[in-house]
Amino acid sequence: MNRLAAAGLDPVKLPRHIAIIMDGNGRWAQERGKERIQGHLQGVVSVRRTIEECGRLGIGQLTLYCFSTENWKRPQPEIDFLMALLNEYLIKERPEIMRQDIRFSVIGRREGLADFVLAEIDESLRVSANNQGMTLCLAINYSGRTEIVDAVRTLAERARVGTLQPSDIDEATIADALYTAAMPEPDLLIRTAGEMRISNYLLWQIAYAELWVTEKCWPDFDEAALYQALHDYARRERRFGGLNI
């Protein structure tokens, strides 16, 4: 019996693209009397098991909110630790990404990221470019508003040089100018730690996404929580503004 059948999941009712706001690392640590960095370290464990399980289930794309543009406001020692942790993750997980045939992708602004982080991002992009399995997309130095600003600038420049008429701009034109061009829109948005907000994440792309929030902090997010989200998603009717008659 395969994993889907064992879990009582219909492959037809699986989301093609799951996006996750991984919230609560610091809270998880503080509740246990630990330093915040211990929460981030444990969060990496949840990242690994979520990627592996989504790959086993045949999810087409998983997009993880790793570092927002607002996170630069955190204390510098924590930022330095997060950048070092990201760099270490990229290096250590690269063989596993290749073994699982995962196609690695990144969205967000490159400006502001350290050269050593950019070098490892680029290497993971390069070696996995021809992989055919699940797409793993990391949102790094990302915000939905800056993404839209960058898209508007791109379209404005095209209009300025005469390659785009303002009257020709439609939803597809804007979507193609976003960081996520050619990616499917998320079907399911998961947020941990019980917060009921989307925190400037994929503002354009989640217009019709199903939202699922758990009280579990990200380090406690496990296969059981993922399966609960998938079961809840499968029971929902997605009308996209219409009616199911």
Give the sign of the dihedral formed by CA 27, CA 195, CA 73, CA 222: positive
Half-sphere exposure of 208 (CA within 13 A, CB side): 11
- From the candidates 23, 25, 141, 187, give the one annotated as an active-site residue: 23
Structure tokens at 56: 């086993």
SS3 state of residue 1: coil
- From the candidates 10, 25, 71, 80, give the one annotated as an active-site residue: 71
Q: 159-194 burial string, b = 16+ CB within 10 Å, else e?
A: eeeeebeeeeeeeeebbebbbbeebebbbbbbbbbe
Q: Which residue has the tokens 């990404």?
A: 97
SS3 state of residue 210: strand
**Catalytic annotation on 101?**
no
**Catalytic annotation on 71?**
yes
According to DSSP, the residues that pair with 17 across neighbouring strands are 61
Structure tokens at 195: 């917060």
Q: Which of 63, 58, 61, 64 is nearest to 17 (CA)?
A: 61
- Rounded Cα gap, residues 70 and 132, in angstroms: 33
Q: Which positions are annotated as active-site residues?
A: 23, 71
